[in-house]
A and B are shown apart, each in its own frame.
Chain A
Amino acid sequence: MIKTAYNGLKTAWKGLTLTIKHFFAATESKKVINVKETNYFDQQNGIATVQYPHQKLPIPEVGRYQLDVVIDDCIVCDLCAKICPVDCIEIESIKATEAIGKTSDGSVKRLYAPKFDIDMAKCMFCGLCTTVCPTECITMTNEYDRSFTLISDLTYHFADMTAEEAEQKRKELDIQLAERKAAKEAAMKKTEEK
């Protein structure tokens, strides 16, 4: 009984000294430094708060946060949309009538992308899309602080074609297909006549 009471008092006092020590040590703050710094773990005492919008923790240059697409490098292969576990990437493609050009790594572009949407509200930042991309046009950036008032703003649109342009390309493709069909039929007729 007395032992319990004594132990209770002793442990309570231990706790009280601990908190009062922290209370009086609160005059200093830990400095906001990169975790890579050699003296990072030397800062054991002091206030740990990072006053976020005013102070920011340094992050690696190649962060794995928001997705970014360089649409000029995209060959619209749709691999990223297929591998995405949460289906947050939506791509539409239109075949071009001829090779459009080359990406920066030399791949030939044969498809137009009238729609390349990434819904960042769905994205779970697994990074699979960046690993499958053959031209490395979809990347993760060090941008992490994005907030919007409308949830629809979280869907990023990367396609740079206007609706009219897309419509025109579709028409060109239809014409080309029709021409090819006609040519094919003409060729068929020729063989039948022979």
Chain B
Amino acid sequence: MNFYLLYFLVALTIFGFIAVFSLFSVYAERKVSAFMQDRLGPMEVGKYGWLQTAADILKLIQKEYILPALADKVLFTIAPIIIFVAVYLGFVALPWAPGLVPATMNLGVFYVFAIISVEALGILMAGWGSNNKYSLLGAVRSVAQMVSYEIPIGFAIISAVMISQTLDLQLINYHQGVLSTESVKFLGFLEVKKIGGILAWNVFQAPHLLVAYLIYFIASLAECNRAPFDLPEAESELIGGFHTEYTGLRFAFIFLAEYAMMFLVAMLGVTLFLGGWNTPLPNIGSLQLATYTTGIFWGIFWVMAKCLTVVGIQMWIRWTLPRLRVDQLMTFCWKILTPLAFLCLVISGLWKLLLF
């Protein structure tokens, strides 16, 4: 019985985290964009407008559900649920700290990668169900983009997995720090198992993973439909794209999924490449910084700090770069990212073959 109680508790905790994170990051996004454009952003609701997003969600909850007369009622209604649940389930496999992971699974990477692809289905359902040409255009763009960018993202992930030799996200984390049971080699030759810290991260174990991470980061922006790859929602061309017809709580869930997706891809990238919950501080002689700063609370702290930095960079990029054209988007994916990612994959294979 307690077993099931724990399951519910974990699910509720993750949902609560997603909700709080979305509220916080929407506020942050508005402030960041404002500051970058020499504006102030929300200032009226609460001190410096910090209650603005809470007010927004209250407004969304009170709003009427509008179902377009000619919409496909079933698809239209369940699409936001599928979009949100796909992202929500992705959080299940992601580890937060040593020994703290919602669900231990030996196929974690594969699972996360598979479950976030379901989001494309939800977006297509939303666009098709709305029975609106702009929504459909947005949805078609979104699916084309997500399917295309899954190729470089997949190759980048596999090249990291080849270095770690496991698909279990928690084990991948363990291999990147002082808690590792195997030998950890900085740049492939320097044994840093005792030193840990930033030197033991995957990107520094094998430097070509830096390129792989860059590819992963760019492709993940496209995966979560963020600028400069926000063609599916392109406010100026498609009036919001696939979520044009959504109101109230249904829209809130699509929005929630979008921000949760941002954090999810950031966290997956951090776990695979940037050491996950491992500390960046190395052990230096008797000063055991890495050992001191490893633990459950430190783990949560480091993973949050790294993910929020990555999310911050996502925002920075969003408010700097203009939107790509559809053909540019596809060219970039197929002609630049995919060959590069494939090269990383090959190097990873050679790395493992030749160095061990």
Residues on A close to B: CB < 8 A? 5, 12, 15-16, 18-20, 22-23, 26, 29, 46-49, 51
CA distance A23 to B38 in the complex (A): 8
Report yes or no: B43 in contact with A51, Cβ–Cβ below 8 A: yes
Chain B 41-68 near chain A by CB (<8 Å), digits 1 or 0: 0010000000000000000000000000
Residues on B close to A: CB < 8 A? 32, 34-40, 43, 316-317, 319-321, 336
| Interchain CB contact (< 8 A) of A19 among B36, B39, B43, B336 | B36
User: What residues of chain B lie closer than 8 Å to A15, measured between beta carbons?
Assistant: 320-321
| Interchain CB contact (< 8 A) of B36 among A22, A46, A51 | A22
19 contacts between A and B (CB under 8 A): A5-B336, A12-B320, A12-B321, A16-B316, A16-B317, A16-B320, A16-B321, A19-B36, A20-B316, A22-B37, A22-B38, A23-B35, A23-B36, A26-B36, A26-B38, A29-B40, A47-B38, A49-B39, A49-B40
CB closest chain-B residue, reference A5: B336
| Interchain CB contact (< 8 A) of B39 among A16, A18, A20, A48 | A48
User: What residues of chain A lie closer than 8 Å to B319, measured between beta carbons?
Assistant: 19
User: What residues of chain A lie closer than 8 Å to B320, measured between beta carbons?
Assistant: 12, 15-16, 18-19
**Main SS at interface, chain A:** helix
CB distance from B282 to the nearest CB of A (A): 28
Report yes or no: B316 in contact with A47, Cβ–Cβ below 8 A: no
- Top 9 nearest A-B pairs (CB, nearest first) are A26-B35, A49-B40, A19-B320, A19-B36, A15-B320, A48-B38, A23-B35, A23-B36, A49-B39
CA distance A176 to B210 in the complex (A): 101
User: What residues of chain B lie closer than 8 Å to A5, measured between beta carbons?
Assistant: 336
User: What residues of chain A lie closer than 8 Å to B40, measured between beta carbons?
Assistant: 29, 47, 49, 51
CB distance from B24 to the nearest CB of A (A): 18
CB distance from B88 to the nearest CB of A (A): 31
User: What residues of chain B lie closer than 8 Å to A12, measured between beta carbons?
Assistant: 320-321
CB closest chain-A residue, reference B332: A8
CB distance from B270 to the nearest CB of A (A): 20
CB closest chain-A residue, reference B328: A8
Given contact pairs A16-B317, A22-B35, A26-B38, enumerate 6 new A-B contacts (beta carbons under 8 Å).
Answer: A12-B320, A23-B32, A23-B316, A47-B40, A49-B39, A51-B40
CB distance from B173 to the nearest CB of A (A): 30
User: What residues of chain A lie closer than 8 Å to B38, measured between beta carbons?
Assistant: 22, 26, 46-49
